[in-house]
Homo-oligomer: A and B are copies of this chain.
Amino acid sequence: MGRTELEVLDANDAFYRAFAARDPEAMCALWAVDHPVACIHPGSDVVDGLDEVLASWRAILGSDGSPHISCSHAEAHVLGEVAFVTCHEVVRGSGRLAATNVFVRERGAWRVVHHQATPIAAGQARPVPRRGPAN
């Protein structure tokens, strides 16, 4: 795995640290400000634009019902100055989601421009990464 992939996986880890800590300000600080952003939360329509995306995260992370999430199976796919990570979101007591996080290199850091998570049906999740743990 190259240095860029590791940088992208570090950014993905920061995303899930903010999610796990239910820290809206940490989450909001990770999103790109110079590029178009969007987000698709499970079961919801597309959220488009920075103001709406950040408001959606503040609502989720500020809620008592915010899920307890951890990340596994992360794999980085680098496309020059943009990269996307696919991973599992492990929801305590509620199975797994397959997620995509798209990052762009902005002002020297990898910033999030898009997030989508989809529940994995029972029995469909791979038990272990096929190419070894990526994080």
Residues in chain A within 8 A of chain B (CB atoms) = 35-38, 40, 42-46, 48, 73, 75, 77-82, 84, 86-88, 98, 100, 102, 104, 113-114, 116-121, 124-126, 130
In whole angstroms, what is the CA distance A125 to B100 when docked?
21
Given contacts A77-B113, A114-B84, are A45 and B100 in contact (CB under 8 A)?
no
Chain A interface mostly helix, strand, loop or mixed?
A: strand
A114-B43 CB under 8 A given contacts A48-B86, A84-B102? no
Q: Is the CB of B43 within 8 A of A77?
A: no
Query: Quick one: which of B43, B46, B80, B120 contacts A80, CB cutoff 8 A?
Result: B80
* Cross-chain contact of A116 among B44, B48, B116 (Cβ < 8 A): B116
Residue in B75, B80, B117, B124 whose CB lies within 8 Å of A82: B80
